[in-house]
Amino acid sequence: MRPRLSSRSGSRHASVLLAVALLLAAALALVAAAGPGIGDALAQTTSGSGADISVAALRAQADEIANRYFSALIHDQELDKQIARDTQLVDDLRARGQKARDDARARAVVAYKTATGELAALIDSEGALDGARRAHLINGINARSQATYKRLRSANRRLRTEQRALEAERRTQADALAHVRDEAAAMNAKLAEAQQRERAGALAAFAAANPAPETTTTAPAVTEALPAATEVARTSAPSSTSAPSSAAPSSQPPTSTTAAPPVNPTPPPDYTGTPGTNPHHDDPFLTCVRKRESNNRYDAVSPKGTYHGAYQFAQDTWNGTANHARRADLVALAPEKATPYDQDEMAWVLYQWQGKGPWGGHCP
């Protein structure tokens, strides 16, 4: 037979139960406030590596999107080169057409100035023989002009054809560029979600490693034992200092604190970087790219702020490469803020992964 509790021990037991109940309510409020990420993270503490798998899957999806992103980016660069070539061809054809017109005018002027009285008499004659002579003479004068006109007509036809092709290429490039942007946005959204889940997992691990101690104080003392990261949970948990049964109902409806998923990853707050010299620093390809892109300046930023660092990474390209290299500490970091070692490393990873294409294929 179990011994009966005294009234004093029963009171202490009730206080402990109240503290546990309030702690559980705060934890549930934290889950609701932080959204699916913290829920997965908390699941990790009870069921193993569920959150790890989710983060790994998100990063794998981002890597798959990055492959499409680079494919679209290189396609856009090829279109840009083709447009440049065709623009030059159109300019050349336009110049050739103008030269043919100038030649035709010059020949007409020469023919007019060198016309003799015999030519005028032949033109005015009415006899058949004179007419034949007139035709022969005029044909001889115009022979080279006709060749010039033929070249002019050919150049104009080709010019119109190339202009139409150029306009089509420009429309295609606009579509390709929009596709690049869409893929970059999708990749960044996956990276942001993975980042959010990782941070939620770290918060859950901290909460599991630092449980609230048992206490006989009221609810505020229990919630004060929670880490600072549970402030959101405290604001949404019951605020009464007595038992839940005596809490007065709120006159205001509960408000949701669930935020929309982030669309871009955020820079790491504690990046220190890898010191020293990267073993690939003196690789001929990296040396060429670094010299061509930034004149070996690791802190370089393009005038419009689009390209960064020694290898002039676009931020989207840097994010995809860092994720592919499993360097989560570099995702969303401005490339010029990374150490020379890490910039060399990301350039080498991208070169091994995507070849020369991301830099336009200019270096051998």
Average pLDDT, the chain: 75
The CA-to-CA distance between both ends of the chain, in Å, stands at 88
Q: Where are the domains of the chain?
A: 284-359
Mean pLDDT score, 198-225: 70
Give the pair of three-digit tokens for residue 104: 């035709």
pLDDT at 154: 82
Contact by Cβ (8 Å): 236, 32: yes
pLDDT tens digits for range 170-197: 888 889 889 889 999 999 999 999 999 9
CA dist., res. 81 & res. 86, Å (int) = 9
CA distances from 216 to 27, 104, 199, 223 (A): 19, 107, 32, 13
CA dist., res. 272 & res. 313, Å (int) = 20
Give the pair of three-digit tokens for residue 19: 């503290």
Bridge-based pairing state of the strands 307-308 and 313-314? antiparallel
Mean pLDDT score, 23-45: 38
Check whether 209 has a pLDDT greater than 50: yes
Give the pair of three-digit tokens for residue 284: 């001929």
Greater model confidence, 98 or 26: 98
pLDDT tens digits for range 269-292: 999 999 999 999 999 999 999 999
pLDDT at 268: 92
Contact by Cβ (8 Å): 169, 83: yes
CA dist., res. 284 & res. 79, Å (int) = 27
pLDDT at 357: 92
- Measured N-to-C along each axis, helices 7-34 and 36-47 cross at an angle, to the nearest 10 degrees, of 130
pLDDT at 141: 63
Phi, psi dihedrals of residue 313, rounded to the nearest 5°: -75, 135
Q: Please name the CATH architecture into which domain 284-359 falls.
A: Orthogonal Bundle (1.10)
CA dist., res. 297 & res. 291, Å (int) = 8
Q: Which amino acid, residue 362?
A: H
Give the ranges where the chain is alpha helix by DSSP (H). 7-34, 36-47, 50-113, 117-124, 128-209, 219-224, 231-236, 284-294, 315-324, 340-354
Check whether 358 has a pLDDT greater than 60: yes
pLDDT band at 53, cuts 50/70/90? low
Mean pLDDT score, 92-103: 83
Greater model confidence, 214 or 96: 96
Check whether 326 has a pLDDT greater than 50: yes
Check whether 76 has a pLDDT greater than 80: yes
CA dist., res. 154 & res. 148, Å (int) = 10
